[in-house]
Structures are given as structure tokens and as C-alpha cells.
Amino acid sequence: MAGIEHITVDADEAGMRLDRWFKIHYPGLGFGPLQKLLRSGQVRVDGGRVKTDARVQPGQVVRVPPLDVDAKAVKTGPIGIKDLKHSDDGELLSRMLLHEDDKVFVLNKPAGLAVQGGSGLTRHLDKMLEAWTSKKGEKPRLVHRLDRDTSGVLVVARTRGAAQKLTAAFRERDTKKTYWALVKGVPRKQDDKISTWLVKEQTEDGDRMRIAKHGEDGADHAISYYRVLETAAQSLAWLEMEPYTGRTHQLRVHALHIGHPIIGDPKYYVDDPNWDFPGGVQKRLHLHARHIDIPHPSGGRLRVTAPLPPHMVQTWNLLGLDMENGGDHE
């Protein structure tokens, strides 16, 4: 039995229901026992009594009475910035895991974690996968990528053979990847196809993609599809986006190209003095790889959906967007 704890709510947990907050911090504590602790006033927020559906905010302090050690045995739930800095590789990978079988891992990559190494990076997913090296000495293999600031579904092969088949599926475009994005403004068309040429250019802030002309040296053709799922006060739109091709930063550049950059994009969103950035929304990239449908190496199709990251959940709650409107991919 531990003593009384006073835990400060993190920025990534803004707007989270109290019962969900406990599920993340104390996964071994059941809903019934939590209700008893709340009714008796043993659990409090900023010194006051609360109910399970109360929503916590950054800086609030949650009083937690002594609990069984098992209640805090393994941390689960969304991975915050502090976790990326302090948790060990095996623990983080386990918390990311959405699906596992003898051929494939599917992870929910958190925003802020790079997939592969680069200049100045001390931690990246490819290196972390060494923690899951098999008894045969085989390390899981990446078969596609997500931008560092993009969260969501990432497929990892457990064997060399699985990697070959999965890589071929991506190369032959026998996959369907669905992303959710929050963009500035509302597109005139409810759904549309975006077709451009893209080329990479060097800038002071690193590599950046731009729209190119057909035939321009180094340019690649890029095709994306989008549809508007919901809007907020006609100033923001929640888009479902599908990249048909897989170019670097493709969806981010295409959103900018149609005049509706993704909220919080550090590379492609430009502040507009005539447009107020919505209050309470974190200036972090609002792009999430929501769902993937891909041939399984052993046959059939593998379909996996990833829950939104904390900063996007906070925004959806703030704007009153209904996550059920995204449809059920399963």
C-alpha cells in the first residue's frame, strides 16, 4: 500500500474524463472501486468532491488515497511528451500496441516520436524496436513511415518474409490509409480529388515539399482524396483524407494547396493576421493516421483503427466534434 498521492494533471490530459484519467494512471483500479472512493470523498480534484464524468484540466491536482500496488502496475493509455522522454523502450512499445500476431505488429505512434533516425534525434522508433528482437535474433522491421509530428497507425513486420509482402502491398498500392485532419476554413467542395506534382527543396528549416510543374526535375506526381466530416463555426473543418500516392508530407502540402492548411502544422501552416487561431487548441499538428486496410502476409485483410492522440481529443471536445461521425471502419 502506498501513501496519499497528489498528482498534477498534464497538458496532454486536458478535457479528459476523470474515470479515463484513472484508467490511464491506475489501470488496475476498477470502475466500481473508483466510484466508492469518489462517493466517500477519498478522491478529490483541487480539494473538492467530483464524479466520474468530471473533466480534468491542466494544473489541477488529483488527490489519490492509498491503493493496492497492483492498481498502478502497468501504465496504459495515451502517451504524452513526458512519457517519450522518460519511459523505457519496451514499456512505450507495449502501450502503442494495437494489434499483434506471429507476422505483424500494428502500433499507434504518438505525435512527436520520429520513425527513423536523423540529425539531433536521440530517440526514434526504429531503434526502439530492438527491444522486441525475437529469440532468433530477428528485429521487427519498418515497412512504411509517418512524419514525426503525425500520430496513428504504423505497421511493423515481425519477420523478413512478412516485411517483403507488406512492402510490396504499399508499393503496389494495395492498401487503404485513412487520415483525420483539422484544417483552417471549410473547403468549398464536400469531397474532392487533389492531383499535383511535388518536389523537395532545401530550406533553413530543413527539407520542405512544394507544388511543382509537370516535368520539373525531381518532381513526383501526388494524388490525395478528402471529404468533409464536420465543421466548427464555419471556421474549421474536420477532414477525412486518403493519400493514393505516398509522397513526403503529401497530405500536409495538399491541404495547403487547396487553401486549408492543417491546424498546428509547424512546416506548412502560416499565421494569418485576419484569422484568429482558436483559443484552447494546442499548436501541434492535427493530423492522425486513423485507419489502415492492408493484405495480411498470411492471407486475408488486416484492418486496424487507432484512437486519436490527447491533443486532438482535447480539440474535438473543445469544438464539440462528434468522433462517431467518422464512421466505423471495422
- The least confident of 1-5, 39-43, 105-109, 191-195 is 1-5
Domain hosting 322: range is 177-326
Note whether 189 and 258 are same-domain residues. yes
Is residue 20 located within the same domain as residue 109? Answer: no
Average pLDDT of the residues in 28-56: 89
pTM exceeds cut of 0.85: no
Do 233 and 309 belong to one domain?
A: yes
Tell me what the mean pLDDT of segment 105-119 comes to: 90
Lowest mean pLDDT among 124-128, 179-183, 270-274: 270-274
Asked whether residue 128 falls in the same domain as residue 235, the answer is no
Q: Which of 12, 147, 149, 265 is catalytic?
A: 147
- The mean pLDDT of the chain is 89
Q: How far is CA 152 from the centre of its chain?
A: 4
Looking at 173, 192, 221, the residue that finishes a domain is 173
Q: Which of 138, 173, 208 is the last residue of a domain?
A: 173
Tens of pLDDT, residues 160-193? 999 999 999 999 999 999 999 999 999 999 999 9
Residues 134 and 215 in one domain: no
pLDDT at 328 over 60: no
Same structural domain, 236 and 318: yes
Same domain, 133 and 206: no
203 lies in some domain: yes
pLDDT-above-70 percentage for the chain: 94
Is residue 282 situated within a structural domain? Answer: yes
Looking at the fold, whether 274 and 235 belong to one and the same domain comes out as yes
Do 168 and 290 sit in the same domain of this protein?
A: no
H/E run at residue 30: none
Tell me if 151 is assigned to some domain.
yes
Q: How many residues does the chain have?
A: 330
pLDDT in tens, 19-29: 888 877 777 77
Is pLDDT of 288 > 90? yes
Q: Please say if the pLDDT value at position 85 is more than 50.
A: yes
* Same-domain status, 120 and 185: no
CA angle 156, 159, 161 (to 5 degrees): 110
Is 75 among the domain residues? Answer: no
**Annotation marks residue 10 as catalytic:** no
Average pLDDT over residues 112-138: 87
Answer with the one of 142, 173, 204 that is the final residue of a domain: 173
* Tally of helices (H runs) and strands (E runs) in the chain: 8, 14
Beta bridge partners of 180: 240, 288
Beta-bridged to residue 221, according to DSSP, are 197
CATH, residue 44: 3.10.290.10
| Residue 52: per-residue pLDDT | 86
**69 within some domain:** no
* 153: enclosing H helix or E strand: strand 151-157
Position 125 pLDDT exceeds 80: yes
Q: Please give the tally of structural domains in the chain.
A: 3
Tell me the CATH number at 223. Answer: 3.30.2350.10
Average pLDDT over residues 89-104: 89
**pLDDT reported for residue 330:** 46
**Confidence at residue 152, expressed as pLDDT on a 0 to 100 scale:** 97
State whether 205 and 320 are in the same domain: yes
Answer yes or no: is 76 within a domain: no
Under 8 Å between Cβ of 77 and 23: yes
Read off the pLDDT band of 1 (50, 70, 90).
very low
Please tell me whether residues 164 and 194 are part of one structural domain.
no
Assigned domain for 70 exists: no
